[in-house]
Every structure is written in structure tokens, then in C-alpha cells.
Amino acid sequence: MSIKNQPLLTTMKQGGLTFRFLEFGDVYDIRFEHDQINLFKGNSIDGMPANIYLRVHDNSKIHFTPLLGVKSNSDVQIHDDHVIYQGRFENIKYQVVMRLDAFTWTYAVKLEAPTARIVDLMYGQDIGINHEHAILNNEAYNAQYVDIKAFEHDGGYTLCARQNEGRAQLVQIGCKQTTRAFSTDGFQFFGLSVKETGQPDIMEEDHLANFIEQYEFTYLALQTNRFKLDQTHDIVFYGHYVADHPDIITKPRPIKLTAKNEAWHQVPISGTDAHMLDVKRRINGRSPDERHFKEMYASFQHIESRDGLMLSFFTRRHHHVVLNRKEVLVKRPHGQIIVHGDVLQAGERVMTVTHFMTGLFASHVALGNNQQHKLISSLRSAQDLFKTAGLRIYVKLEGIYRLLGMPSYYDMGSHTARWVYIISGDVILIDVFAMADSIQQTLTIESLEGRTYEFIVTCQLVMGQHPYMYDIPTRVTERDITIFVPKEAMAAAHYPRMKYRISSSQDWQSVSEEDAFGCTSQHGLLIMRFARSDNIRLDIQATLEDRFEPLNSATYDIANQEGTRFYTTLSPLLSMKHPTEQSRLDQLDTQLFWYAQNAMVHYASPHGLEQFNGAAWGTRDVCQGPIECFMAIQRMDIVRDILLKVYKRQFLETGDFPQWFMAEQYHTIQSHHSHGDIIIWPLRALVRYLSATNDFSILEETIPYFIIKDNDFGNPHTLLHHIEHQIDAIKSNVIAGTHLPAYGGGDWDDTLQPANPAWTTKMVSGWTTALLYETIRDLAAVLAETHQDQAVEARQLADAIKDDYHAHILKDDIPAGFVIFESAKKYLLHPRDKTTGLRYRLLPLVRAMIAELTPPELLDTQIDIIDQHLNHPDGVRLMDAPVKYHHGQKTYFSRAETAANFGREIGLQYVHAHIRYLEAMANINKADVAYEDMFKIMPILLNQKVRHAVLRQSNVYFSSSDADFATREHARLGFGLIKESAIPVKGGWRLYSSGPGIFIGYWIWHALGIRIHADDLFIRPSVPRALDGLVIDFMYRGHPLRIQYHEGPIKVMIDGRLVTFISMTNRYGMKGHRIPKNMLRSKDTVITIDIWFEATDKQAHINKKAKS
């Protein structure tokens, strides 16, 4: 049998735009050529985000209804050139006629009431205006680059939206009659409570927001004046599309509407039979009381509260529990990605599932490549507007099936998730779990009171990248259904035997979409109906081979224990104890546990909660987060494997590396270009590995190159040959007359890609230069004894880079963000910058300190610059001010000047960069500063450290802290408010980042100072005075150590004896101690190491900051 996965559509085209309608009159999409004008594709079950709402004002109460599509009670008639919607609401007769005239569409609304009523109308339209594939890749990202203008005039407001990335398209929304208010983002319109109620929040408000918000859901909305409806009344809304609009928006376009007041049409009355399922009928869990939690949990810690009410907490075993009252306060829904299988090998046998608190029990289920092998669809709306997405559960209560919506609370473990629904007389548990080493996922439904219910489970199957691509072949045998890869899918060419199997503990009946929802459109839904039961178990298995692995019978408790053990034993840091700092250390311990889980997602199945499509390693990313994490936890075998995988991607023709690449059978899918710093990262990672292990045998490993012209591997050589080719490429891509690396397509900050193509060969990044110097210098040191000729060459190159850095980059004792080598050198992002208005850039400042390029005598000056201009209450920012925004017009930097949303890198507080700042502070022995500033970026109890932080999920890495400015212009004018904690800061995108791995590496390597050097233990702590007396239990190569930190003159004791070892001091006086591994051989007894450190003068630094 085949599950239909292609909607039945009616097409309307009138010489310009194409509208495609679903059977109940919802718009599936609006198209022009390959571009999609709306943001979200509609469906016949959830409808579409766009709609017209009629509101009836009855004293202080507002009654409302949508007028279009399946969400309405309208009868609909679809014609070739128009669509008619008719119905009644609150004894008001209404009609809407949609017509298309080339590039303009109109909705003509007619209202009639027998008695006078006070009413108004709201029209909302979601906007994409980009290539269909760009939108499907990520709707939220697309919205960040749509520039919006609102124009006020005698008739109210006209709204315009222009796409700043790709084809410059424009949509204009207006009304023939007078409008009183507008809004521009779906979060203004639908709000946050919609996750619980299913109704737009704005329906309860007097008027729309009346200001522009540029966030992640472009939704243009207009509201009419209230008017007295005591006779027939006509209102016309319109939309107009311009395919090519290269100029920025300065005024609305004059639109001549041909629409006239419509007569009443005759529309056949639709059937009114109730269907088995309706996404509007739902049940939410009741708020739990304190007694319930005491029965369910033995311990609480890190309790988050507001107004005396608990919002969330953690257990001693690192579970994170979130109450329903918190979920309706956050813009980013609580969710989690579980990865399991051969996670440490990051190969094909890795399975993943994403789930969200709002009753989305499984989504984005995939084995191997998480983009092409997707079994179940992803959440595409942060407000969970589309209940067809993912796996959902309906329960029959009092004769009616109700969708399980918002739970009472949501419990996340590393390999488990639990939704708890407290309902009348019962508690329903939904558990999802996976064994750490298996490629099987399990979902269970249980009534704690043993009551029986009829359940229906719906799954939107994809078997590819996106929904609605092709029908899906299946085979049902008894209680199992096997889902096969469609022959049209890309996966079929690479993994023709790939399949999934869903097995049930109970008999089930397949239900058609028509029987369930009353629609004939096909949405790829597998609908499983179960007879009355108090427990059901579903197991999802996957394979790339002919046979599935044996089904395991693991329980939630077993999976939970094994999963927690996997992550607690992954780290060598077993415990941290301190007499006065224990509370903060417990927070850090919990954060490290979850960051380890986050880091494995990024490594083994790259994607995130917002950036749900991924499946590729970024060369820069994998050489940072995974490499630094695995080195810190002493898994050098994995580091070695990553290095060989990355060097296999080196281009034979250029010696460079791809910006990103896919693995296994999809190795031909990759970028053939990269930013100027990418070529450095594999070499930096290799140098660190060699320095730690002395494993020079890796240099003799024979691996292929990647040949661009063949788009495949070939021409195998030793890794040493690869390195020599890499060095030659680095030497050839420099500014003429210098040893400074050319900027190429950019550096770490993706928003600063050059707008002027000529700058790719004329501009230098101060950050890239420092990174290159550090790498080549360390290469020379590590090769000094085994490869002397290469070491001498590297040393000479490092010295030349250093000389050119001081001659060209370090100007007036401050490193320039960029230098353009033209007839006269031009400094950008530097006090001498006379063009961009930007004076300081964080990255070159901190990277030079890490690379020890900053002269010691300049440290205080440069730290003062960071404190005065870059450090904020929620972390350091990338620059002292935002790049100027001219509504999409490019002058210097591409994305920084085209992004309309002030978030992510555009908002300047990128957590990854903050961790590097912590590393720099540790390297120059500013341990007190690093320790205090570390807590600014830890989401657990963040409001205790950053009082103006908006609520956010606490157990997941946020890539940025975004000041809550509505527009780029507001950010420019109010940027100084961030330092005053006078503007809220919210969490950016989650998890898809090398940041969690870098954070783990920072704490173990740089703060605690524990690392491996030349196969020996090396300790160089940078701990604050506050941690005098810290005691940690640590596993070093299987040997149990207890390390005790003391403030005082530097010395080391082992088991109570004063010992002398090789001391290694960096340029800034930081002393480390190399302890030969043969002194730490005992596996039976704990070896105690006491180490003394010299603390920085914290109070002096605080006084200095206050004075400045």
C-alpha cells in the first residue's frame, strides 16, 4: 500500500501570480516562477496562517471567527478566476470573494446584519517572497531578511515587505477602506498563548500592535476601524506583488484596484457532519500542585520561579522539568533532540528524534543523514500552528477525540522525554525514549490510574527532505507497518534498502484522512486507531540494510539510566566540591552535562531546534567544538578519526577545504568554496592533537584528496603531503608584499562577508591573521624534533606573519578588524575607521591574546577597550556598535547590511565568541573575570546573573543573546540601553553550534587547566580566588585523581609530597606543570594532587572598570 503525500490542488492563474487552493479554500501556496510568495504552505487540516477575521464587539467581550478556509465555518466555491466564501457568525451574514488580476489579489468582504452590531475586520498574510527551496529550508531564517515598511496616510496604513537576500521581490498589503492599526510579525498576531489555546492572542486585544517588528515570522496584518453594522457593508483588502524591486522601499506603490463591491453569490451549502478528528478540539494538562511533584520527584534543584510560582527545575540526575505556565511565556518552545546509536563514531548508524513540549511527541526522526532520511516531518512553526506536523496523539474523552496539547509539565532527560497530562480523575503519561547504543525509539502511552481510552496516533511521513514530495510505499503486517524509501527520493540512489518499521503492542486500525478529518487531500498521514487500552507501546526501528536489528524491550527507566550513564561517564570530570561556591558549581555541573549532550548532537547528527535542516559538518565547526571537547575528555582516538575525515575533504586543485560537507554516500554534496580562515582550522586541530599525543604516525596515514572536477575522492597521499599542500596554499593566498592571509569570502563572522568582490584579495582580517600565526607557530614547535626541515620553514613563516601583524594590523596599539590594502591602507572597525562608524572588533582582540600576539604591556589597554566598549551585562559583543542598516542596500558587508532582524550574529552577542573571550582571559590570568563572566552565558537560572534576560529554556545551548529591539533602526538608536540593562535580552537559535563542545574544552583545559601535553599530564589552572579550596575528582587515562586547588605561591604536591616538575610559562606569566604519566599509574587508589595558583587582583580590576 502507498500513503498519499501530494495534496489535491486547484490552480488559479491570471497572467502573473499563481494561487493554488486546497479543497476548503485554503491557499496552499502563492507562486511566481520558482518563488513562493507566502511563507507557510497551507493544508486541509490546519488551514493556512493567512486569514480574514471578523470580530464582533459585545460590551467588553469580543467574539471572533476566521472567514476563510477550514478554520472557518464557511461554505466555499472555487472557480477558475475567483473563490467565494460564505457563512454566518453571531447572526451576521458574510461573504468573501477572492479574485486575482495578474499580480494583484483582492478579498472583497460583504457583511450584513439584521440588527446593529459593532464590528471590525483583521486581514493577515504570511510573507515569504523567496525561492521555494530557500523558504522550505528554514522559514524563520527567511523572515530575518525581509525588510518591512509601514506607511501611514489618510486612509490608514499600507504595508510593504521586500526580500533583501536573493531576488529583490516586494509584496504590498493594503485596504480600500480606512484602517486603524497594523502589525508585521506573526508573534505580534498569534502571540504565545496560541500554543495552548490554538487561537490568535490578538483576538482578545483592542487593536494590532501598530509598530514594525522584524522577527522570525513575517506576517503583515491590517485592522479596520470599528464600525456600526446596521446595513450591508463592503470592505476590500488587497495584496500586490512585484517580481523585481531592486530599490529599497521609500513609498508604497500606487495600486489601481479593479475590484468592485460584490453582489451576494449563490454558494452550495457544505455538509456539516462532525469528523472523527479536529485539531481545534484539544485537551491541555492542568497545572500540577506541590504534592504531585513530591510524589513524582525525590529532589529539586536550580528552581526557577516567577511571582512565587515555580516555572521549572532540575533533578539531581540532571533531568529538566518545565511547567506549562513557563511554556506560554517563551518564544522558543521547549524542545530536545535525542541522538543515539553509534554516536561517538558519527557514522551512518546514528538515529535522531526531535520533540517539543506542546504535544509534538516525535518529529524529524531520521537514521543517518538527517536531511535526506527524514521519516517524520519537522516542526516548522515556533507557535506550533500546524498540528499535522510530526507525531500527535488524540484521546477519546466523553465520546469526542481530543488532541493532546499542552501538558501539565514536560520532563527531559538525555535519552528520554515525558509529557504529563493531569486531567479529571487521571494522569496520562506519554514517554519517548531510546537506548544510548540502539537505533530504535520507543513511545508509550499510559494511564496512571489504569483507565482505558481509545487513542488515535497520527504521523506525517516524509521519507525525504520535505513533506508533499512523493507518495510513500508501505507494507502492513499484523501490528507492524514498514515504510520504504520512495524510488523518486534522493536516498533511493544511495540507500535503496533504507526503511523504517513502526511496531505496536496493540492491534490498530488504519484510518484514512477522509474518515479522520473529512478531507480528500493527502498529507502523508499515517493514522493509527487503537481500541480501548490503558497502555500502548510503539517502537520505531530503522535500517539501511535488508534486515532490522532485533527489537529491544527496554523500558523508560532502563533507557534513562543508560542514557544518563553515557553522558556522566563521557566526561573525566567526576565531581566538583567547594565550601562556599557549591551552588554555582552544581549549576555548572548540570550545564556541563547538558552541553555534553548538545555537543554530541552537533557532532553526530548536525542540526538544531530552529535550524532543523543540517546533516553537514562545517569544516570550521567540527575542528573546534568536537575536537576541543574530545581532547578535553581524553578521547584522542576520536580526534584522530575526525582529523582524517576532514583532511580527506581537502581539494587537490587548491589545497583548501570546503566550507561544509556531507558524509558517507552523500560525500558529493558540499560547498566548493570557503571563507579565508577555513584552510587554517584543520591544521590548528592537527597541531593540537600532535602536541597532546606525540602521535606522529598519523602523518604517514595515506588518505585521498577531493578532486573538484570529478566531484569525488582520488589521488591518495600521506597526511604530511596534505599539510605541505595546505601550507603552499596558505602562502599563495596572501596580500602582495606581505605574509598576511587574504580575506577571501569572509572570516568567522558570517555577517561580514565582503560586499565588494575586489576586497576578497585586498582585505585582511585581524582575527584570521592571529589565528594563522598561532597555528603556524605551534606547528613549528610540534615538528621541531621529528620533522626539522618543515619546522624551520614553519618558524620562518610564523615570524614573518608576526612581523607583518605588528607592521600592518596593530595600529595605535589596537588590532584592526580589517585592513584594506589599496593605494593607501584603509582601516575598518578601528578608531581610524572613518567610513563604517565602527571602532572596535572583539575577535582580533581576544584571538591575539590567545595567540600571545598581544604585547604584555598592551594587555591593560586592550582589556579596558573590551570593558568599556564590548562587554555588556549579558556578555561581550562582536563590535562596539551594529553595522549600519540601509534596508538592504549593500556597501561594505553583505549579510550585516541585508538582515532586517536584530538577532543572532547581527545582534552581536554570539555566545561562541564569548567563550573565546573567557579563554583569552584565562590565558592572561584574568581568572576572576573569566569565572564571573562565564555565568552570563549559562542559561540555568540566568535571571539571577542577567536580570534583564527574557525567560528561555535552561538545558540547551543558545547561540546568541539578542537584545529585544523590534527593528534595526531601534537597535541603532537604543544600542546603549544594553549596557544599562534597560532592554530585555532573549535567547537566539539553539544547539546547532560548536559552542557546547568549546565550553566543555574551556572549563577543563583552560579554567581547571587540565590537559595532556606530549602524552603527559599538564596542569595550568586559571581559577579565581573564589575557588580557593576547590576539590575535583578527575579520571586521567583511567587513573582516579583528586586535585585540590589552593591560592598561594605556585607549587605542586602529589600525595602530600612536594615535587618539582617541568614548568612551562606562557608569554603572560601563566605557569603550568608537566607531570610524567609514569607517576600516575595507580588505578586502585586515588592519587591526590595539590596545586597552588596565584590569583589575579579581582577587586583592583573591578575598581578599574568602575573608574573607566
How many angstroms separate the CA atoms of 735 and 1022, rounded?
A: 37
Residue appearing with cell numbers 493577515 = 124
**Cell (9 digits) for 41:** 504552505
Answer for the pair 43, 26: CB distance below 8 angstroms, yes or no. yes
DSSP of 681-718: HHHHHHHHHHHHH--GGGGG-EEEEEETTTTEEEEEEE
What type of residue is 840? Y
| Integer Cα distance of 373 and 393 in angstroms | 23
Long-range contact set of residues 152-157: C-beta below 8 Å, sequence gap at least 24 = 155/179, 156/180, 156/222, 156/225, 157/181, 157/182, 157/222
Is 776 strand, coil or helix? helix
Q: Is 1085 exposed, middle or buried (0-12, 13-18, 19+ CB in 10 A)?
A: exposed
Q: What grid cell was written down for 563?
A: 542514557
Nearest to 954 by CA among 982, 990, 918: 990
| DSSP-derived pairing of the beta strands 499-504 and 535-543 | antiparallel
| Residue 750 among the catalytic residues | yes
* Burial class, 58, CB count within 10 angstroms (exposed 0-12 / middle 13-18 / buried 19+): exposed
The closest alpha carbon to 687, from 826, 559, 783, 800, belongs to 783
Question: How would you write 41-89 as a 3-class SS string?
Answer: CCECCCECCCEEEEEEEECCEEEEEECCCCCCCCEEEECCCEEEEEEEE
Q: Provide the residue type at 310 as one letter.
A: M
First to last CA, the chain: 73
Whole-Å CA distances, 847 to 153, 354, 439, 879, 911: 51, 35, 41, 14, 15
What b/e sequence results for 1053-1078 when a residue is b if at least 16 CB atoms lie within 10 Å of its CB, and e otherwise?
Answer: ebeeeeeebeeeeeeeebebbbbeee
The stretches of 703-787 forming alpha helices (DSSP H) are 719-732, 759-762, 766-783
Question: CA–CA separation, 735 vs 763, rounded Å?
Answer: 8
Sheet holding 10-13, edge to edge: 10-13, 18-21, 27-32, 35-36, 130-131
Active-site residue, from 437, 641, 695, 750: 750
CA distance 952 to 901: 19
Distance CA 434, CA 339 (A): 9
346 within 8 A of 180, measured Cβ to Cβ: no
Grid coordinates representing 673? 568554496
Q: How many residues does the chain have?
A: 1108
Distance CA 622, CA 630 (A): 11
Instruction: Just list the catalytic residues.
Output: 750
